[in-house]
Amino acid sequence: MAYTIDVHLTPEEVRRQMRADALQGLQGEEKSIPPVWFYDERGSRLFEEITQLPEYYPTRAERALLEAHASAIAGLSKADTLVELGAGACDKTRVLLTALEDTGQLSRYVPFDVSDEFLRSAATTLSQEYDSLDIHLVIGDFHQHLAEIPSEGRRMVAFLGGTIGNLDPAQRARFLFDLNCTMSSEDSLLLGTDLVKDPDRLVAAYDDSAGVTADFNRNVLRVLNEQLGGDFDPDNFRHVALWNEERQWIEMRLRAEGAAEVSLSGAGITVRFDEGEDLLTEISAKFTPARVERELSEAGFVVEEMWGAQDGEFLLTLAHPYC
């Protein structure tokens, strides 16, 4: 095998967590389901397709920053181990791995994700490109398994793609604090955040003309059907993307086109939707550089450098724990 793997999230545990999320979210005053459940193998592939769409600028903007500044990032971090949270297809990883390799210190790559099959495939490809690299996959949920990530070496923990924006402020504070607790004073954090910009441009990025994001959004219903014995009809739900000015985030919703009664036998519940009722599937918070620095500071991080703050498109921030 071209890599080692630790599995902390078995299929049974996935279903158990999904059941808990369904019981809480689908029976709340405002129906919701966490975005982590988009990402079965099909959802992961759809998201990779989204990143190639003309409307979806974040991936291109972040990659441009990585290509321009990867050498500086590698030099400042002095890392011999790259840990990537939410690694997905590991596409942008190559830019960082090559820059770290050029320092002569790189020895290990630790991709962390919930999608087992998708991550194995990506790791196999990377092992062929970087034949001397020790690749250690970790299958887990960053809300539960941060402490299970290997701690050896001088690590740079990369959390890219603006994924931190899927967390609300309280969840972000908890996540950053928990992450800080797993890091040593020699470790660093590379954080990618999307910046506040024209709302029309933001909405377009989450509501593309080809309908790929709509298919991705409805995929969560297919996952619920498969994992929890549901009978959602995805065609009865319309994809909606909205900008929430007060909270400075995009909301992705599924809106019932007609009244529906949905059974989830694996959760033991029946859920009723009125016509026009929404299911909130994702938030994607947008930031200012000042907010990023403040939230990192409150979680015990010191910002070392920021890239991209001037153009207002996307931001990369390198930070390290206080001590």
Residue ranges and CATH numbers for the domains of the chain are: 31-54+199-285 (no CATH), 57-197+287-321 (3.40.50.150)
Distance (Å, whole) CA 19 – CA 17: 5
Query: How many degrees, rounded to 5, is the angle at CA 103 between CA 100 and CA 104?
Result: 100
Determine the pLDDT at residue 123. 82
- Ranges under pLDDT 70 in the chain: 1, 88-90, 323
141-169 pLDDT tens trace? 888 899 999 999 999 999 999 999 999 99
Distance (Å, whole) CA 180 – CA 177: 5
172-209 pLDDT tens trace? 999 999 999 999 999 999 999 999 999 999 999 999 99
Q: Which two tokens stand for residue 235?
A: 């065609």
Kindly give the residue spans of alpha helices, DSSP state H, lying in the chain. Answer: 11-25, 41-50, 57-77, 93-102, 116-129, 169-181, 199-205, 212-228, 289-298
Structure-derived torsion over alpha carbons of residues 116, 117, 123, 127, reported in degrees to the nearest 10: 130
Report CA torsion sign: 215, 220, 224, 226: positive
Distance (Å, whole) CA 18 – CA 224: 8
Distance (Å, whole) CA 143 – CA 36: 11
